[in-house]
């Protein structure tokens, strides 16, 4: 029995350890990083990391993306771990000027089976 994108989305989010959302053919799994106490302009900022897939083809492969919020000290280890999984790092950047502590965002991309991508991401996040 072929699985539809919505049921795959539930598994995708469970593997990654995030909250699932599915709309318009796109699955997003969001992880809240409540352990990081960040402010922007002196106001509390809720840090989130998200992973998604869309455009799944007949072979089961999809465009798989991620936007990971990290502390500076976490960047090198995460980037090395995600590259070891064969996933491309498309950017490493900051987004905010007045965040304390400074957050670094790593964007990743791949075309893969969403559940395989999710398992690779989970391994990288555990490093």
Total of domains in the chain: 1
Single out the residue of 92, 66, 67, 65 nearest to residue 79, CA to CA.
92
Of all residues in the chain, what percent carry a pLDDT higher than 70? 98
pLDDT of 1 reads: 35
Residue 126: which H helix or E strand, with range?
helix 114-126
Segment 105-114 shows an average pLDDT of 98
pTM above 0.75, yes or no: yes
Q: What is the DSSP letter of 42?
A: T
The HSE-up count of residue 61 (CA atoms within 13 Å, CB side) is: 5
As separate numbers, helices (DSSP H) first and strands (DSSP E) second, the chain gives: 3, 9
- Read off the pLDDT of residues 23-78 as tens digits, 9 standing for 90 and up: 888 999 999 999 999 999 999 999 999 999 999 999 999 999 999 999 999 999 99
- Give the domain range for residue 38: 5-126
């Amino acid at each position: 029995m072929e699985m539809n994108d919505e049921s795959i989305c539930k598994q995708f989010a469970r593997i990654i350890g995030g909250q699932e959302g599915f709309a318009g053919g796109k699955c997003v799994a969001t992880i809240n990083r409540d352990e990081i106490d960040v402010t922007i302009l002196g106001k509390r900022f809720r840090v989130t990391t998200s992973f998604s897939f869309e455009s799944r083809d007949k072979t089961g492969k999809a465009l798989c993306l991620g936007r990971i919020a990290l502390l500076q000290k976490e960047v090198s280890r995460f980037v090395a771990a995600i590259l070891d999984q064969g996933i491309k790092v498309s950017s490493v950047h900051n987004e905010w000027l007045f965040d304390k502590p400074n957050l670094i965002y790593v964007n990743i991309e791949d075309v893969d089976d969403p559940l395989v991508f999710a398992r690779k991401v989970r391994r990288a996040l555990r490093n």
